[in-house]
Amino acid sequence: MTLKFTRWLIMLGLIAAALTCQAETKAFQLAIKDHVFTPDRIVIPAYQKVRLIIHNQDDVAEEFDSFALNREKAIFANRRATIFIGPLAPGEYSFFGEFHPVSARGVIIVEANSDVD
């Protein structure tokens, strides 16, 4: 009984820790409309994990793709998706929409002294 209770406590602790970590992660919004990312430039702080919340406002799915960030996520029509990126060194990291690579393009600028801190 005690062992079971301890297990539950540990599990709740882990979930709480995970939720706290997520709550502390800075979030950045990105929209897809007419197969174009808006904004197409996002400045994020260096050496920090951040959360990109992408809202696909088109009626077809899109795939957020970035070789530089090693990220690849399908965002279904009229839905939101969250992608965690970083911690990253200062620099520019491009991304694009896999299904509309000509129009859907953008860049994430990682700055050491970013004012988003």
Q: Is 107 in the site for other proteins (CB under 8 A)?
A: no
Q: Is 85 in the site for other proteins (CB under 8 A)?
A: yes
Bridge partners, residue 71, by sequence: 66
Residues 43-62 contacting other proteins, CB under 8 A: 49, 59-62
Q: Is 99 in the site for other proteins (CB under 8 A)?
A: yes
Q: Is 79 in the site for other proteins (CB under 8 A)?
A: yes
Q: Is 77 in the site for other proteins (CB under 8 A)?
A: yes
Q: Is 101 in the site for other proteins (CB under 8 A)?
A: yes
Q: Which residues bind other proteins (CB under 8 A)?
A: 18, 21-22, 25, 49, 59-63, 67, 70-74, 76-77, 79-85, 87-89, 98-99, 101
